[in-house]
């Protein structure tokens, strides 16, 4: 019975590849302000290390909430497909690495109302990063897969960065 059920699940599964989704994110290194109503993008630190330390990402003691646009291209003026909403937390005492827990919430196009949930370690200084897709909703119900992230650009003055996510997911 277990083999038959597995075959049914595989036959009813579908592979989706989303390669042109960009997240406009604010670099947590430079975020020192609290949430202000109406700010976009909207990351804010909600756990402060005590006492303050020189570099929060290398300490493992800072956490940020984010609500950033997902766009078709790297420009903020590109068509918006949805929002990346979730939490980043410093995850290493030795390197600049984040724990990424985000929902990619689609609000336009054929995926409107659906979500994908990447989760994993995100060593932000590495060129190529991988995170697991641990779930989804709507058209991506029961999703499993991989999200790869590559930094497109970072503006050191403003602290804004653009990250390209390539997602491959199997879903029901």
- Give me the CATH number covering residue 34: 2.40.480.10
Residue-range definition of the domain harbouring residue 100: 15-171
Asked whether residue 4 is domain-assigned, the answer is: no
Residue 74 lies in a domain: yes
Closest CA to 67 of 44, 80, 85: 85
* Total of domains in the chain: 1
Q: Omega of the bond prior to 41 within 30 degrees of 0, cis?
A: yes
pLDDT per position as a tens digit, 104-145: 999 998 899 999 999 999 888 888 999 999 999 999 998 999
Structural domain contains residue 61 = yes
Query: Is position 7 within any domain?
Result: no
Is residue 82 domain-resident?
yes
Residue 155 in domain: yes
Span between the terminal Cα atoms of the chain, in Å: 20
User: 41: which DSSP letter?
Assistant: S
Residue 147 lies in a domain: yes
pLDDT score at 134? 95
CA 85 to CA 66: how far, in whole Å?
5
Per-residue confidence (pLDDT) for residue 159, from 0 to 100: 61
The answer to whether residue 1 is domain-embedded is no
- The 10s digit of each residue's pLDDT in 26-72 is 443 333 332 233 333 434 444 444 444 444 444 455 787 888 888 88
């Amino acid at each position: 019975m277990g083999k038959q059920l597995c075959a049914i699940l595989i036959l009813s599964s579908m592979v989706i590849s989303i390669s042109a989704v960009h997240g406009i994110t604010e670099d947590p290194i430079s975020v020192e302000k609290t949430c202000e109503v109406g700010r976009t993008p909207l990351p804010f630190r909600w756990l402060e290390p005590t006492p303050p330390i020189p570099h929060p990402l290398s300490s493992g003691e800072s956490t940020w909430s984010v609500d950033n646009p997902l766009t078709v291209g790297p420009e903020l003026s590109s068509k918006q497909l949805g929002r990346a909403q979730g939490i980043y937390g410093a995850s290493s005492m030795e390197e600049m690495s984040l724990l990424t827990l985000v929902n990619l919430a689609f609000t336009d196009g054929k995926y409107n109302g659906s979500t994908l949930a990447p989760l994993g370690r995100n060593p932000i200084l590495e060129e190529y990063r991988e995170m697991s897709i641990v779930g989804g909703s709507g058209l991506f119900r029961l999703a499993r897969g991989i999200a790869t992230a590559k930094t497109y650009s970072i503006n050191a003055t403003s602290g804004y960065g653009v990250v390209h996510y390539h997602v491959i997911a199997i879903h029901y």
